[in-house]
């Protein structure tokens, strides 16, 4: 167990996701207390004091985002849980939806109270089936038990929760793309200003938080900000649900306390690479983060500052372990094919850049690469850094620059010898 467990703190059984089990664990008591003895501002203050950061990839302070919404401004506010989870390597929000849907619902109710939200949404990627059915069933249980609807827990607070299903698009995981999708339109992300907390869904103040971020709220209010701060590190309080996969003995979703030693997590908790192979590198938090080599990861702890110091980031919490012998050129090819497929096409650098990068790497893999192609990939990545409407351009840039920085020799080799330095292998460590 990689440190304190705040969310995955109960045994998963055939019924642990149901309302009765959740109540037996103390579920919805916090909601009752909030609605009967706290003001919305007090809730936001507590969340701010906890130092809770976003778990979707941007690590933005949650309380600061919530505080932008002006209470009593006479207009509707909306809350959306981002369950689009499209970042390759990431599957941890799914755990919450499948096993702790009521934790999400209770947290969303508390957040809705704090933000004066009458209508809340969970935007769930279209491909998720079981997570959707579990959440839908939980919402029905909640309505039947008077936990959602006109009079929540018998108080004056009213809140409705609707699941909005996506239909296959990575950019719906971007907050403004997500709400444009909820508006029933093609999910083009939006330029800021205005911030979504000022003009979001149907031009109303909207807060979009990652599922796991919201799932932390009930516990923070239940036990207090101070108790939350005792877990993790000063700059990264609390825990992170980490979905870890790849060349790994025990892939899965783990709750990692911030500050936990990274090497211990990968090699002991998750068993390291099958066959005892060395870790060549890891993708820290979804492929849109810069890779860290085996030696680089050794001294790190799992928290924002440690990874930033190593020139990378925790990202979406989707860690991919890459074993020795993997061809990094082919790996980048898979990633660039993905970004090219997912570019919405709205703005120039990403629309043209993703296709260009994909064509270049396809050409390198086909044996028709030129030495200048490597610098060109880096240049296109830089041309997408901070120039695009949403972060996807930057994301592709980090993936590309990260891999080329650490493994340029493999690209040079392929260009010179017209074949992979690692025999084009992507599968290592198991039969």
Backbone phi, then psi, for 145, in 5-degree steps?
A: -95, 10
Rounded to a whole number of angstroms, the minimum distance from the CB of residue 251 to another protein is 4
Q: Which of residues 223-262 bind another protein (CB under 8 A)?
A: 243-247, 251-253
In angstroms, give the least distance from the CB of 86 to another protein: 6
Question: Counting contacts by CB under 8 A, is residue 193 touching another protein?
Answer: yes
The distance of closest approach from Cβ of residue 104 to another protein in the complex, given in angstroms and rounded to an integer, is: 16
Burial of 253 (0-12, 13-18, 19+ CB in 10 A): buried
User: Which is nearest to 361 in space by CA: 397, 292, 417, 411?
Assistant: 411
Which listed range, 15-23, 41-49, 125-133, 223-231, lies at the site for another protein (CB under 8 A)? 125-133
The residue among 61 and 76 lying less far from another protein, judged by its C-beta, is 76
Residue 146 backbone zone (phi > 0: left; psi -120 to 50: alpha; other: beta): left
- Interface segment toward another protein; rule CB under 8 A; list 42-50, 178-186, 207-215, 400-408: 178-186
Q: Which position among 24, 162, 234, 308 is part of the footprint of another protein (CB under 8 A)?
A: 162
Per-residue binding string, another protein, 4-43, x by CB under 8 A, is: ----------------------------------------
β-strand partners of 160: 119
Tell me the per-residue interface mask from 65 to 94 with another protein, x by CB under 8 A, - otherwise: -----------x--------xxxxxxx--x
Using CB under 8 A, count the residues that bind another protein. Answer: 86
Among 3, 54, 187, 317, binds another protein (CB under 8 A): 187
- Please report how close the Cβ of residue 223 comes to another protein at its closest, in angstroms: 29
Site membership for another protein, residue 196 (CB under 8 A): no
Q: Which of residues 345-384 bind another protein (CB under 8 A)?
A: 345-349, 351-356, 359-360, 363, 370, 376, 383
User: At closest approach, how far in Å is the CB of 156 from another protein?
Assistant: 18
**Among the residue ranges 5-13, 59-67, 295-303, 338-346, the one whose residues contact another protein (CB under 8 A):** 338-346
Residue number, 351 or 421, with CB nearest to another protein:
351
Residue 152: DSSP 8-state? G
Q: How far apart are CA 65 and CA 165, in angstroms?
A: 25
- The smaller minimum CB distance to another protein, of residues 220 and 273, is found at 273
Residue 32, exposed/middle/buried by CB under 10 A (0-12, 13-18, 19+)?
middle
Residue 75 neighbours by CB under 8 Å, 6+ apart: 204, 205
Stretch of 17-25, 32-40, 45-53, 314-322 lying at the interface with another protein (CB under 8 A): 314-322
For residues 377 and 343, the answer to whether their CB atoms sit within 8 Å is no
Residue reference for tokens 């979406």: 316
Cβ atoms within 10 Å of 9's Cβ, excluding its own:
12
Q: Can the peptide bond before residue 252 be classed as cis, meaning omega within 30 degrees of 0?
A: no
The CB-of-174 to another protein minimum distance in angstroms stands at 14
Site residues for another protein, 132-161, by CB under 8 A, read 160
Distance in Å, CB of 21 to another protein, minimum: 23
- CB-wise, 102 or 340, nearer to another protein? 340
Q: Strands (DSSP E) along 134-285, which ranges?
A: 160-165, 206-210, 239-246, 252-257, 260-261, 279-283
Q: Is 309 in the site for another protein (CB under 8 A)?
A: no
275 binds another protein (CB under 8 A): no
The H-assigned helical ranges of 236-327 are 262-264, 294-297, 304-309
Measured CA to CA, the distance from residue 159 to residue 150 in angstroms comes to 6
Q: Which is nearer to another protein, 123 or 228 (CB)?
A: 123
φ and ψ of 284, to 5 deg: -70, -50
| Count of other CB atoms within 10 angstroms of residue 342 | 20
Give the Cα separation of 285 and 314 in Å (integer).
5
Looking at 342, 365, 377, 407, which residue binds another protein (CB under 8 A)?
342
64 or 133: whose CB is closer to another protein? 133
Helix and strand numbers, DSSP H then E, in the chain = 17, 11
Residue choice 12, 20, 68, 167 for contact with another protein (CB under 8 A): 167
Q: Does 315 bind another protein (CB under 8 A)?
A: no
- Does position 126 interact with another protein (CB under 8 A)? The reply is yes
The DSSP 8-state label assigned to residue 267 in this structure reads I
Spatial distance between the Cα atoms of 312 and 305, rounded to a whole number of angstroms: 10
Q: How far apart are CA 257 and CA 251, in angstroms?
A: 17
* Residue 330 Cβ vs another protein, minimum distance, rounded to whole Å: 8
At a CB cut-off of 8 Å and minimum separation 6, what does 187 contact? 169, 171, 172, 177, 178, 180, 181, 344
């Amino acid at each position: 167990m990689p440190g304190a467990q705040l969310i995955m703190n109960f045994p998963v059984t055939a019924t642990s996701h149901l309302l009765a089990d959740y109540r037996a664990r103390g579920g919805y008591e916090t909601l009752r207390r909030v609605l009967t003895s706290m003001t919305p501002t007090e809730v936001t203050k507590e969340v701010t004091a906890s130092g809770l950061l976003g778990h979707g990839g941007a690590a933005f302070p949650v309380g600061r985002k919530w505080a932008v919404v002006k209470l009593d401004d006479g207009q509707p506010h909306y809350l959306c849980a981002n369950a689009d989870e499209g970042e390759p390597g990431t599957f941890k929000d799914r755990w919450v939806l499948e096993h702790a849907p009521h934790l999400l619902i209770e947290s969303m109710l508390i957040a809705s109270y704090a933000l004066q939200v009458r209508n809340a949404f969970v935007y769930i990627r279209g491909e998720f089936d079981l997570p959707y059915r579990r959440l839908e069933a939980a919402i029905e249980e909640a309505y039947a038990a008077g936990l959602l609807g006109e009079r929540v827990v018998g108080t004056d607070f009213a809140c409705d929760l609707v699941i909005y299903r996506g239909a296959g698009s990575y950019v719906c995981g971007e907050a403004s793309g997500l709400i444009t999708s909820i508006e029933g339109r093609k999910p083009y992300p939006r330029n800021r200003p205005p911030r979504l907390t000022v003009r979001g869904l149907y031009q109303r103040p909207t807060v979009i938080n990652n599922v796991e971020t919201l799932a932390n709220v009930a516990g923070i209010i239940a036990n207090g900000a101070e108790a939350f701060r005792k877990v993790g590190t000063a700059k990264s309080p609390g825990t992170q649900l980490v979905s870890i996969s790849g060349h790994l003995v025990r892939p899965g979703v783990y709750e990692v306390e911030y500050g936990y030693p990274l090497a211990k997590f990968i090699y002991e908790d998750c068993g390291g690479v099958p066959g005892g192979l060395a870790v060549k590198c890891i993708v820290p938090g979804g492929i849109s983060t810069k890779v860290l080599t085996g030696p680089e990861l050794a001294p790190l702890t799992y928290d924002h500052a440690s990874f930033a110091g190593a020139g990378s980031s925790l990202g979406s919490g989707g860690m991919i372990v890459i074993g020795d012998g993997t061809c990094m050129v082919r790996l980048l090819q898979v990633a660039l094919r993905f970004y090219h497929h997912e570019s919405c096409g709205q703005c120039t650098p990403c629309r043209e850049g993703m296709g260009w990068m994909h064509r270049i790497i396809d050409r390198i893999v086909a044996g028709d690469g030129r030495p200048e192609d490597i610098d060109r990939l880096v240049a296109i990545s830089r041309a997408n850094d901070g120039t695009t409407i949403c972060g996807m351009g930057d994301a592709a840039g980090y993936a590309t620059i990260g891999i080329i920085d650490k493994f340029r020799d493999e690209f040079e080799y392929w260009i010179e010898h017209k074949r992979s330095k690692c025999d084009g292998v992507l599968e290592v460590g198991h039969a």
